[in-house]
Amino acid sequence: MFRWFTAGESHGQGLVIIVEGIPAGMEIDEEFIGVQLARRQKGYGRGGRMLIEQDWAHIETGVRHGKTMGSPIALTIKNKDWVNWLEAMSVEKVEDYKEEGRNQRVTRIRAGHADLPGVMKYNFDDVRPVLERSSARETASRVAAGALARRFLEEFGISIKSHVISIGKIKIPSTSDIDWDKVEQSDVRCTDENTAELMRREIDEAKEAGDTVGGTVEVIAENVPIGLGSHTQWDLKIDALVAQAFMSINAVKSVSIGPGEEIMDEWGSKVQDVILPVSNPDDPWKRNTNNAGGTEGGMSNGMPLVARFAIKPIATMRNPLPSVDLDTGEEVLAHFERSDVCQVPPAGVIGEAMMALVIAKCMLDKFGGDSLSETYRNYLGYLDTVKPRNTYK
């Protein structure tokens, strides 16, 4: 069974990731994971934290001589910023809270964060233990886990990309003809340079006003075989798994499969993806369009798996909103801690990781295998069957 967990606080010693179920014999090294972690750290509109951290995941277990052993893979990422939080995040007991500095209690709760429900639920008198884990620092762990999934999917020719569709009010004119090299070079992960410039201005304006700005991202997985996921049970549906994976990313507030609500005002005849005749049974099944985003009935249909998510403007602002004090319930200004102005570009990289983890799970659910060669054999055997019925007996 493929599963994964993360642990770690934003300013603690570091992040811990355990990924279980990757078959034996897969080549992997720290550099491969490092490339993905570096992509997450880029982006116009990010705050000072990214200048401190240069994330690197150490492979602690599960890999020998450059190949997976089939055992759980544990990764750790050190938080460079931890040295500035030794007392505030000390594992050992400390004397007491301070009146000033990092080890004072955080009581000015922030709306739009886990702060209020978290302190109530866990019975804290300090927001720190809640904000430390709810921080999007945790998404570095997901990108590291996602890199393992991505490496696994590469073996089957499956690739995953993302690009930014909108930031604030600025939207790309078209989502077709994406130049992926340009996206990777763009600090707002946008294919169109004119739009990218307007997006940067939108971020600058928000920053000058002490405010924040959100946006939307599209993630595309190519070469996904037909039949991953299942129509037979609600929690096996691949579109539902992608939706949960994306919705779990901090600050994501809506998810759509394919163009989603953009086509919901069209008539049915305009939005179905017509199945094209098969001239060569060895070719994959094809459609004239991909409005279903590559899924039908909770299963991949052989077209690219395409999903979008919208991410809200960050809740921590240099011009803080009014809030209340946790002790007294009286009005105060919300706590401000170093913060991004726009997190949309890195969210694309996190979305790719989550998509990779979902597809890897569906692949392993379907094809199993304790070794990569066994998984691959099962995969090839299956591909041989997904043809018009009279060409496969």
Give the binding site for ligand FMN (CB under 6 A): 47, 112-114, 134-136, 139, 249-251, 312, 314-316, 339-340, 343, 346-347, 350
Cα–Cα distance, 337 to 111 (Å, whole number): 13
Q: Are 241 and 362 in contact (CB under 8 A)?
A: yes
Q: How far is the CB of 314 from ligand FMN (least distance, A)?
A: 4
Q: How far is the CB of 46 from ligand FMN (least distance, A)?
A: 8
Per-residue exposure over 14-52, b if at least 16 CB sit within 10 Å of its own CB, e if not: bbbbbbebbbbbbebeeeebbebbebbbbbbbbbebeee
CA-CA-CA-CA torsion sign (44, 50, 51, 55): negative
Q: C-alpha dihedral over 13, 20, 383, 245, to 10 degrees?
A: -50
- 134 or 216, CB closer to ligand FMN? 134
Residue (26 or 128) nearer to ligand FMN, CB: 128
The amino acid at 201: R
Beta carbon of residue 40, minimum distance to ligand FMN (angstroms, whole number): 7
Distance CA 237, CA 136 (A): 27
CB 340 to ligand FMN: min, Å: 4
**Rounded to the nearest whole angstrom, what is the least distance from the CB of residue 189 to ligand FMN in the complex?**
12
Distance CA 342, CA 207 (A): 9
- Of the pair 112, 227, the CB lying nearest ligand FMN is at 112
Nearer to ligand FMN by C-beta: 246 or 367? 246
Find the shortest distance in angstroms from Cβ 317 to ligand FMN. Answer: 8
Compute the least distance from the CB of residue 27 to ligand FMN, in Å: 29
Closer to ligand FMN by Cβ: residue 26 or 217: 217
What sign does the CA torsion over 335, 336, 342, 343 have? Answer: negative
By beta-carbon proximity to ligand FMN, the closer residue of 312 and 387 is 312
Minimum CB distance to ligand FMN, residue 114 (Å): 6
Q: How far is the CB of 117 from ligand FMN (least distance, A)?
A: 9
DSSP string, 18-85: EEE-PPBT-B--HHHHHHHHHHHH--TT--THHHH----EEE-SSEETTEE-SSPEEEEEE-GGGGGG
Q: Is 164 helix (H, G, I), strand (E, B) or coil?
A: strand
Name which of 17 and 28 has its Cβ closer to ligand FMN.
Answer: 17
Which residues lie across from 219 on neighbouring strands?
162, 307
Q: Which is nearer to ligand FMN, 36 or 301 (CB)?
A: 36
Q: Which long-range contacts (CB under 8 A, 24 or more apart) does 81-87 make?
A: 81/11, 81/49, 81/52, 81/53, 82/11, 82/12, 82/13, 82/14, 84/11, 85/11, 85/12
Nearest to 63 by CA among 107, 19, 102: 19
CB of 184 to ligand FMN, least distance (A): 17
CB of 17 to ligand FMN, least distance (A): 17
Nearest C-alpha neighbor of 375 from the set 384, 386, 366:
366
Concatenated DSSP letters for 244-283?
HHHHTSTTEEEEEETTGGGGTTS-HHHHS-PBPP-SSTTS
Based on CB atoms, which residue is closest to ligand FMN, 273 or 352?
352
For residue 40 the two structure tokens come to 């997450």
Strands of 215-222's sheet in order across: 170-171, 159-167, 215-222, 305-311, 252-257
- Select 263 or 333, whichever has its Cβ closest to ligand FMN: 333
Q: Closest CB to ligand FMN among 63 and 242?
A: 242
